[in-house]
Amino acid sequence: MGMIFCLATASDDTIAKVHDDPRLIYRAIYNDDPEIYEELSAPPKKPGFLARLFGAKEVDAPPPPPAIEFPSEDFQDYDLDKAWHGIHFLLTGSDWEGDPPLNFIVAGGKEIGQEDLGYGPGRSFLSEEVHAIDSALEAVTIEEFKSNFDPEAMMKADIYPTIWDRDPEDDDTLGYLVEFFEGLKRFISTAADKGLGLIVWIG
Which portions of the chain are predicted below pLDDT 70? Answer: 40-67
49 to each of 58, 156, 200, how far by Cα in Å? 11, 54, 41
Q: Where are the domains of the chain?
A: 5-24+73-202
pLDDT for 148 equals 99
Q: Which residues contact 84 (CB under 8 A, 6 or more apart)?
A: 3, 4, 5, 105, 160, 180, 202
162 to each of 5, 12, 110, 115, how far by Cα in Å? 16, 36, 28, 28
pLDDT tens-place string over residues 169-186? 999 999 999 999 999 999
Residue 30 identity (one-letter amino acid): Y
The CATH number of domain 5-24+73-202 is 3.20.20.70: no
123-125 vs 197-202, strand pairing mode:
antiparallel
pLDDT for 38 equals 72
pLDDT for 1 equals 74
pTM of the complete model beyond 0.75: yes
Do residues 48 and 58 make contact, with C-beta atoms less than 8 angstroms apart? no
